[in-house]
Amino acid sequence: MKNKSRYVLNKYNVLIIGDLMLDRYLYGNISRISPEAPVPVLEKVNVENKPGGAANVALNVKSLGSTPFLFGIVGNDAPGKMLRELLKQDGIDTGNIITVNDRPTTVKTRIMASGQHILRIDEEISDDLDTQIQEQLKEKFDKLTEEIKIDAVIFQDYNKGLLNDNIINHIISKCRGKGIFTAVDPKFKNFLCYKNVGFFKPNLKEISAIINLPVSPKIENLNTAAKKLKEQLNFDNLFITLGEKGIYYCSNKKSEILPTKKKNVVDVSGAGDVVISAATLFFLSNLEIENIAEISNIAGGLACDSLGVATVSKSQLMNALI
């Protein structure tokens, strides 16, 4: 990348709203088969807990030099308390996280053996929040955006029940009225609720399901899909993440596929969190979309260097811009 000195990453206030999770990693070794059934026996060595979901986006926004404001819910349980404590240790304000008594904290437990991810166990309830909690979230959002200048809002949607058309429409409407940039990492359920946003970042599987057509990672195919989405959602800028194939970007001016530059992928967990964090911050810095896509592609590759959900620091990213 030429003249990387012009890729200045300023400090912004970014509000992240989405599904919070506790990512738990259970590491062990497998050396035998169980005598009770034809399954391997894992001898546990270590357990590691990390903030996941929208919380990992907040961590990435912070590691890239900006100030995150995290909105979400946790259960009144041990994982919820642990998630709050981990966030506090990482310097993330938890004042806008609501504790819900009748709902568990979402926990994703990944079983790891010899550097391989062999199983994931999910503990969650993904029904929509009751209207009282929805109203609390909206009130917290309105209050914060009146008190503090928010530069961008990131919706990090995993279809775990926090976000629905009521909350989404309220926040997008408020953001448009205040000139706040909006970025979305969608999932299937609320996909078509995110109208008139600044930046929309689905993946290939989600696109194929929503437009009800198989979409291959070829420019003509992706351009057709992008046109159909644009007609329905009226976004300003689109990225489609293509896994090992890289990133497709599209704006009113141009579209292109940028192949991934990462050759040895250790783990893709959390790469999407890094991409939306970096892209949002560079959109705020008014770079051209092709430059933002290239930088985001590099950032996503850096996130694949280690096991588990990852964060990428500002210095790491800037050093990689060569």
Q: What is the pLDDT of residues 23-50, one digit of tens each?
A: 999 999 998 999 999 999 999 999 999 9
Superfamily of domain 4-20+52-104+126-320: Ribokinase (3.40.1190.20)
Task: Convert the pLDDT of each residue in 116-170 to its tens digit.
Answer: 889 999 999 999 999 999 999 999 999 999 999 999 999 999 999 999 999 999 9
DSSP SS3 for 322:
coil
Question: Where are the chain's structural domains?
Answer: 4-20+52-104+126-320
Instruction: Note whether 104 and 77 are within 8 A (CB).
Output: yes
pTM across the whole model: 0.92
Interval 261-289 mean pLDDT: 78
Examine the pLDDT at 266 and tell me if it is beyond 50: no
**Number of C-alpha atoms within 13 angstroms, CB side, residue 236?**
12
How many whole angstroms separate alpha carbon 302 and alpha carbon 305? 6
**Residues with a known catalytic role:** 273
Q: Percent of the chain having pLDDT more than 90?
A: 71
Higher pLDDT, 262 or 77: 77
Mean pLDDT for the stretch of residues 259-283: 75
Interatomic CA distance for residues 189 and 5, integer angstroms: 41
Residue 309 scores a pLDDT above 50: yes
Structure token digits, residue 143 = 């209050």
| Exposure class string for 237-246: b at 16+ Cβ within 10 A, else e | bbbbbbeebb
Residue 267 confidence (pLDDT): 46
